[in-house]
Amino acid sequence: MIEFRGVSKRFPDGTLAVEDFSLIIPPRKTTVFVGSSGCGKTTLLRMINRMVEPSGGAIEIDGRSILEENAVGLRRRIGYVLQSGGLMPHFTVLDNVATVPVLQGVKRAQARARALELLDTVGLDRGLAQRYPSQLSGGQQQRVGVARALAADPNILLMDEPFAAVDPIVRAELQTETQRLQRELDKTVVFVTHDIDEAFLLGDQVVILERGARIAQLGTPEEILANPANDFVRRFVGIDRGGRALRPVRTATGTVLVDGAGRAQGVLVEDGT
């Protein structure tokens, strides 16, 4: 479990990125931070592994303050997937994936064997193992980034807009792959996106943020769609736009989630339950 208590972050130039943020992130679920650019969502993510140090408040992982741990050691036991993949261009795919275990003292041969297994896990052909990042497509690079983040078998996986730089078809494939991996691996995932449909697709818990990382609404996708907290949330999730990807529709028996073509995608709330 990850817990934020009264956390703030003010940068040296005076910018207040996060103001009095409190939240519990449940274990083995996917929590998505979603909001417009500049709302503080990436700052929140990076404070978990101390890539950004909080200015105030407390962040705990399983009841222990992150400030009690060595920052480098903390990062090595938390998986982290960047938007650009963040791969080392002079390392092969295999050695990119094996990097963290080697740094943790695992023998190189053992780390490489584990890296090959992870290529299978993320749906990459082992024939790519000796290629370099520049020889891969954007989607393949992102899969390598996910494999590298999983290499040390972390309990926590941070994903910072990992699919924003790929085309829509590849993005859909990677979203599906992320859902499969979560079902199989059961990690605590914290995912950042500016795309509300991606948030609703992937999130067990969705946190809609306003500027300063103020929580506009927290809940499951179904709860937010069925009962938006205010006008800001209604506008952000596109409740009033008939063409949005997912929207709630009242029927005689309850509220149904439908797509832009009016096709039912599932029941949100059944009357009498």
183-213 pLDDT, tens digit each: 999 999 999 999 999 999 999 999 999 999 9
Kindly report the pTM of this predicted structure.
0.87
In a domain, 255, yes or no: no
- Interval 69-103: pLDDT, tens: 999 999 999 999 988 778 999 999 999 999 999 99
**Of 142, 96, 101, 94, which is closest to residue 122 (Cα–Cα)?**
142
pLDDT band at 249 (very low <50, low <70, confident <90, very high): low
Determine contact, residues 62/38, Cβ cutoff 8 Å: no
pLDDT for position 165:
82
In a domain, 223, yes or no: no
In a domain, 83, yes or no: yes
Number of domains in the chain: 1
pLDDT for position 98:
96
In a domain, 267, yes or no: no
In a domain, 41, yes or no: yes
Give the integer Cα–Cα distance in Å for 159 and 148: 12
- The total number of residues shown for the chain amounts to 273
In a domain, 237, yes or no: no
pLDDT for position 169:
92
CATH of the domain at 205: 3.40.50.300
| pLDDT exceeds 80 at position 16 | yes
Q: What count of Cα atoms within 13 Å lies in the side-chain half-sphere of residue 7?
A: 31
Q: What count of Cα atoms within 13 Å lies in the side-chain half-sphere of residue 34?
A: 28
pLDDT for position 252:
58
pLDDT band at 140 (very low <50, low <70, confident <90, very high): very high
- Interval 147-167: pLDDT, tens: 999 999 999 999 999 998 889
pLDDT for position 102:
94
pLDDT band at 216 (very low <50, low <70, confident <90, very high): very high
In a domain, 258, yes or no: no
In a domain, 107, yes or no: yes
SS3 content of the chain, % helix, strand, coil (to 5): 35, 25, 35
Range of the domain at 107: 2-191+201-215
User: Which residues make Cβ contacts (< 8 Å) with residue 52, sequence separation at least 6?
Assistant: 9, 43, 46
Q: What is the mean pLDDT of the chain?
A: 89
Q: Are strands 214-219 and 188-193 parallel, antiparallel or unpaired?
A: unpaired
